[in-house]
Structure 1
Amino acid sequence: MQVVVWNENRHEKTNPVVADIYPEGIHGAIANFLKEDEIEVTTATLDEAEHGLTEEVLKQTDVLVWWGHQAHDEVEDRIVERVHQRVLEGMGLVVLHSAHFSKIFKKLMGTTCDLKWREADDKERLWVVDPSHPITEGLGEYIELEKEEMYGEHFDIPAPDQLIFLSWFEGGEVFRSGATYQRGKGKIFYFRPGHETYPTYYNKEIQTVIKNGVKWVSPASTPTPTYGNVKALEQITEK
């Protein structure tokens, strides 16, 4: 499996708190734990040529993991179109935390993907609401994070194909924190935790979810459908 972890890599350059938590960048931290499963992992960032997502790179990518926050508008539309096409062709996409507002996720969802938020060191409890789903393998009934940014409903996304996690925050809010979709031949997993000023991506249970998510969205060897005007497979004649 070929995985690319994409990140803006802006907070790490401008915020010493983030740089201290993630000295190799958020993308580096995620790539490091994915490599533990002997997955072929590379990284790409916003300021690289073509944001590191050239046609050649994407053609070889089975799963793209996306983290973004403050520079969504700087992602070129032509690159978004390129990623969108690859998802329709079967490339898996894992969308993390504030990448709910990325151009690619909003394009795939067809909605604003807006929500409520509060950065106030809230305790978060992520409840597993679909324990039969492969993404929850190896987990208990919930994951508890002592400090995270609050995201609250209403989350303006289409009804998920499958709702995997529902978060509760100590301020009283709830949030659909793990949701899956299919677009074309591609599978998408949105997973909420991961604010840049918290060491969330070092949490072993969070790592388990992302590892499981990468495996779940990975492409299957299924036939590619034919569209458009076609000839009949059989000629039916009356006797």
Structure 2
Amino acid sequence: MKITVWNEFRHELENPDVKDIYPNGIHSKIKEFLNEEDSFDIQTATLDEPEHGLTDEVLKETDVLIWWGHKAHEEVADEIVEKVKARVLDGMGLIVLHSAHFSKIFKQLMGTTCDLKWREAAEKERLWVVDPSHPITKGIGEYIELQEEEMYGEHFDIPVPDELIFISWFKGGEVFRSGATFKRGKGKVFYFRPGHETYPTYHNEEVQRVIKNGVKWAAPEETPISKYGNAKPLEEL
């Protein structure tokens, strides 16, 4: 399975606190723990590369694309967004992490503002598993507890998910739909909330497990080739 991990790679270069946590970038940390799976072939791409690292060749070969973005959503070229969208509709899996809820690609696929409440106050987050039979929760207990995270709170302006997997509770009292799946065309989309850049969330082994499971779930499947447009009758009219 070929996986591309995409990251803005801006906070790590501009904020010493973030660099301390992710010295080689969030994308490199995600690649590092994904490399623990023998069936994964992982490459990375970042915003400031030509075509944001998402050339036609890269997208064509990618089975699952992981997307992390925060401060530079508007710098992503619309042309690239359209190409990514086309690949999702054609079967490529998409994992959308944390603040990428505001990415152009996620908003395009959801058709809503994807807005929410937020607060950065190093709060405890408890992600409750609400679908323990789902393959994305394999190897996870009743909940994942993170001692410090950014708060996201409802209402989260997304369509009703096909599947709701995690609901978060925060120390300040808010709750949030933190793990949700959607099907778009032939592709699968998994939104997973935790991952603020100033906290070591992607060092957490349970968070890593969820992302690994999510990649396996989102992988393309063999589906019948659909034909559209004017059609000849199968039976004699």
Give me the TM-score of the superposition, normalised by structure 1: 0.98
Offset of 1:64 from its aligned partner? 0.1
1:68 maps to a residue whose letter is: G
Query: CA-to-partner distance for each residue in 1:118-161, whole Å, 9 max, x for gaps?
Result: 00010000000000100000010000000000000000000000
Matched ranges for 1:69-80 at <5 A: 69-80=70-81
Matched ranges for 1:75-114 at <5 A: 75-114=76-115
Give the number of the structure whose alpha-carbon radius of gyration is greater: 1
Q: Confirm or deny that 1:235 pairs with 2:225.
A: no
Q: Confirm or deny that 1:28 pairs with 2:49.
A: no
Query: CA-to-partner distance for each residue in 1:166-196, whole Å, 9 max, x for gaps?
Result: 0000000000000000000000000000000
Q: Distance in 2 between matches of 1:228 and 1:182?
A: 23
Query: CA-to-partner distance for each residue in 1:28-48, whole Å, 9 max, x for gaps?
Result: 000110110021000000000
1:103 maps to a residue whose letter is: K
What is residue 9 of structure 1 aligned with on the other side?
Answer: 9
In the alignment, structure 1 segments of 5+ residues that lack a partner are none
How many residue pairs are counted as aligned between the two chains? 236
Q: Distance in 2 between matches of 1:234 and 1:198?
A: 62
In the alignment, structure 2 segments of 5+ residues that lack a partner are none
Q: Distance in 2 between matches of 1:32 and 1:230?
A: 49
Offset of 1:235 from its aligned partner? 1.8
Q: Distance in 2 between matches of 1:94 and 1:195?
A: 16
Offset of 1:223 from its aligned partner? 1.3
Q: Give the share of equivalent positions with the same residue, in percent.
A: 74
Give me the TM-score of the superposition, normalised by structure 2: 0.99
Offset of 1:227 from its aligned partner? 1.1
- Across the aligned residues of Structure 1 and Structure 2, the Cα RMSD in angstroms comes to 0.6
Give the secondary-structure state (helix, strand or coil) at the position aligned to 2:36: helix
Q: Distance in 1 between matches of 2:87 and 2:179?
A: 22
Offset of 1:96 from its aligned partner? 0.1
1:178 maps to a residue whose letter is: G
Give the 4+ runs in structure 1 shifted more than 4 A.
none
Q: Confirm or deny that 1:200 pairs with 2:193.
A: no
